[in-house]
Amino acid sequence: EDQVTQSPEALRLQEGESSSLNCSYTVSGLRGLFWYRQDPGKGPEFLFTLYSAGEEKEKERLKATLTKKESFLHITAPKPEDSATYLCAVQGRYNTDKLIFGTGTRLQVFP
Amino acid sequence: DGGITQSPKYLFRKEGQNVTLSCEQNLNHDAMYWYRQDPGQGLRLIYYSQIVNDFQKGDIAEGYSVSREKKESFPLTVTSAQKNPTAFYLCASSMWNEQFFGPGTRLTVL
């Protein structure tokens, strides 16, 4: 069964304190892995798509990486405005109609 | 501006009533999706549609119904058969792989 597990559930960082969020997945042939940011009471905002192991994508203070079993979202020198829930989802090669979502990591960055 | 709109933002329903949530997109995307989000759970797929006049059940379709009469619109009806409808409902659309989400509707059953 396709599955996505995100860790930690919650993360508190001091402004400027870099860290990483983990997304472990099992899927029958990965077609794509997606990262989203979700603010409270709002819809998820698309961040990145990764397709193959070794691929990396960057956007401002965020960098997403992918291996055959997991993805990391690295946050460098975070600011309070980076506080949000970060969601990971996978799309299988044999079931392209669906995304399987993890439960998210709730990030809080304090000044 | 291109995007996805959902209305209303908040919706209150009495038990036994059907309610319809609106989702409109002007991105010219072929596929549209409805998800449900509950605290501590990942987004769960309710229904999806790849083309007009066609839709498929997702993982938790019981108690819900949809229609896709226009490319731009994909309304979701929450029926009285849905036992626990209080949740945050999200609509999404896609052209290729990435799905883009609307702002959501929070439904509360009184």
B41, B50, B88: residue with CB nearest A103 = B41
pLDDT for the residue numbered B1: 60
Q: Tell me if chain A has a CB within 8 Å of the CB of B3.
A: no
Task: State mean pLDDT over A27-55.
Answer: 96
Q: Is the pLDDT of residue B31 over 70?
A: yes
Instruction: Kindly state the average pLDDT of the residues B35-42.
Output: 92
Q: A43-65: b or e for each residue (b if 16 or more CB lie within 10 Å)?
A: bbeebbbbeeeeeeeeeeebbbb
pLDDT at A98: 86
Q: Establish whether the linkage from the previous residue to A8 is cis, with ω within 30° of 0.
A: yes
Query: By three-state DSSP, how is residue A104 classified?
Result: coil
Provide the b/e sequence for B1-17 (b: ≥16 CB within 10 Å). Answer: eeebebeeeebebeeee
Contacts of A46 in chain B (CB under 8 A): 98-101
Query: Cβ contact (<8 Å) for A97 and B99?
Result: no
- As given in the structure block, the two tokens for residue B50 are 């790849």
Q: Each residue of B6-26: pLDDT tens digit?
A: 999 999 999 889 999 999 999
Cross-chain residue pair B42–A104, CB shorter than 8 Å:
yes
State how far the Cα of B12 lies from the Cα of B17, in Å rounded to an integer: 10
With a cut of 70, say whether residue A90 has pLDDT above it.
Answer: yes
CB contact under 8 A, B106 and A41: yes
pLDDT at B96: 83
Min Cα–Cα distance to chain B from A45, Å: 7
Band of pLDDT at residue B48, cut at 50, 70 and 90: very high
User: How large is the average pLDDT for residues B70-98?
Assistant: 94
* Window A:56-95, CB contacts with B under 8 Å: 87, 89, 91
The helix/strand/coil state of A88 is strand
Read off the pLDDT band of B33 (50, 70, 90).
Answer: very high
What is the structure's pLDDT at B93?
97
